Amino acid sequence: MSEAKKRRSTGRVTLNDVAQLAGVGAMTVSRALRTPELVSDKMRERIDAAVDELGYIPNRAAGALASGTSHVILVIVPSLLDRASAELMAGLQPVLMKAGYQLVLGDAQHLRQQSEQLEHLLQYNPAAVIVLGCLESPDDKLLLRQSRLPVVEVGALVPHPMGICIGGSNQDAGYRLTRHMIERGYRNIGFLCARQEQWMLQQRMRGWQQAMLESYLSPDMVINTSEAPSFSTGAAMLGEFLMRWPELDALICVNDELAAGVLFECQRRHLNVPGKLAIAGFDDSDVAKACYPALTSVHIPYRKMGSMAAEIILRKLAGEELQECTQLLEFQLQKRQSS
């Protein structure tokens, strides 16, 4: 017992430590933890007491390697800071954790910076992979295909999905939002994009361009910045727009944080919204509803996409044969005072 306590203070408590303290074999401890119904109540109580005293944490990774099965789901998101990522996780977690699965998060920005990152994440032996948006690297896509893991892509329509795709047309959402601005009488409509390498954001900008060209309006008022799509970026970019295009009368931003940043800067400059400048964004976040005037935005059901993706993953892991397909969800235009 003294040896076990010593190991607790200097290293990880092992299965053998628990077995020694409980006075049973390591196989008995393993059986009690995996299938407690196969162990007598008295034996299970002794083992549970030893686990509690030593603070033993089972090594799930080692168990997965030994059994060839895993209770880890790898989730790749565009950025850990994006609201879309948080909403997706809110949809995934209740379904997958209830089924006994844990989530490992990967940031796609880091995958682009270090090509070996995805290979490292796959060493966790995940049971499946969920991707928000679209992986940019052909090498990463090839690696996922070669892994033969169930893959669900969420959020954007992907030309050649690696498995099942759940999402809506971001291009159609951008088109509908721009048409709304045109129908309201705005003609000098700009588009502010941050980190436009993300597939979902590219589609939104294409929708804006399509609507502008169909109405014989110039699609030249666009700024792409490599900065994060944040409040401060939106505020900083408004000055750039007004300096280049003083005639600007409406600005569509690729997400609500950028749009709110533009709105706050308009208020600082005493520019009336929407009288002097109409503003709109994407995601229909809380800030879009709470700021004044409230922001016109596009509601994208990331949480619902997450729960749908989780349910599909569980069906595939249960052995159900599901064909590769795309499941479309509708985006909803929320018209508010800012336009």
Q: Tens of pLDDT along 242-253?
A: 999 999 999 999
Model pLDDT, residue 60: 56
CA dihedral in degrees (78, 81, 87, 90; nearest 10)?
110
Model pLDDT, residue 163: 83
Task: Give the pLDDT means over successive 10-residue stretches in the chain (339 positions).
Answer: 44 82 87 81 88 76 54 86 87 92 80 64 86 78 84 84 87 96 97 78 92 96 89 95 97 96 97 97 94 96 94 90 82 96
Contacts 24+ apart (CB under 8 A), 26-33: 33/58
Three-state secondary structure of 192-224: EEECCCCHHHHHHHHHHHHHHHHCCCCCCCEEE
State the pTM of this model.
Answer: 0.77
Q: Tens of pLDDT along 301-310?
A: 999 999 999 9
Cβ partners under 8 Å of residue 183, min gap 6:
none
